[in-house]
Amino acid sequence: MHLLLTLAMIAGAPAPAEPAPTPSESYAVYDRITHRVTGKDVHKPIRSASLVKILIAIEQLETRGNDPRIEPMLRSSDDNAASELWVENGWEQLVVRTADRIGLEDTRPPENRGMWGYTAVSAYDVVKTYRYVLEKAKPSVRRTIMGHLQRATKCASDGFDQSFGLPSATWKPAFKQGWSGFGDPEKPCVDRPRPRIQWDLDLKSPAMHTSGTCLFSIVAVLTLHPQGTTYKQAAKRVTRVTEEVTKHRC
């Protein structure tokens, strides 16, 4: 009798709560003087969000020439410009070609060819992409890409403030940011933000990345956050991590 009662009580007891998901980060820092890469989980695959726009720019510039849409795509992270160039440059094959040309180890095209933000990258590959632009690309390609990243705007075209991470933690960086899964901005950074394209929305594990150059370093900080994390909370965390990994470097 007591055994049956005990079993009934166990069966009716609520299941133990699952532990809350915790944020995660991976990062890589390349020292252009010592030529060393340091970091954490440097080869961990993570969806690129808007960091793939650097690959889009490389492919466009190296195979088809300059295009006026590259400027808003890189400076204000314009999704419409990126989507048009993505399609015109071969959809997911753009990633295959650029990854092969640059020698990226962890970069893979998205399973759904229309969702360019789901391209898989790693902190190591993001740093290697910047190295390619700075060290191997033609001068015209390097000047165009780095020139736009040096003039990146505070406000992105979709209304988000993209001054987190490197621009908040370092001095005069050239930078490209990425974010995904935060819905629409609560307080748009511009008066009339453009609507976000459908495939840039991700309701799982909001992502926020910062990447670029500062002084003699190339930096990539890629982060994922629990659902429900606000853009402001994620931005503060990315900036804090960036401050830690760039300390005494930039």
3-state secondary structure of 129: helix
User: What pLDDT score does 165 carry?
Assistant: 97
Domains and CATH numbers, the chain: 21-245 (3.40.710.10)
Report how far residue 74's alpha carbon sits from residue 176's, in angstroms, rounded to the nearest whole number. 7
From the first residue on, what is the mean pLDDT of each consecutive set of 10 residues in the chain (250 residues)?
42 55 92 96 97 98 98 97 98 98 97 97 98 98 98 96 96 96 90 42 74 96 94 97 94
User: What pLDDT score does 194 carry?
Assistant: 43
Indicate the DSSP class of residue 155: B
Q: What is the pTM of this model?
A: 0.84
User: What pLDDT score does 205 carry?
Assistant: 81
Strand partners, 189: none
Are β-strands 217-224 and 207-214 bridged in parallel, bridged antiparallel, or unpaired? antiparallel
Asked whether the beta carbons of 227 and 206 are under 8 A apart, the reply is: yes
Asked whether the beta carbons of 114 and 87 are under 8 A apart, the reply is: no
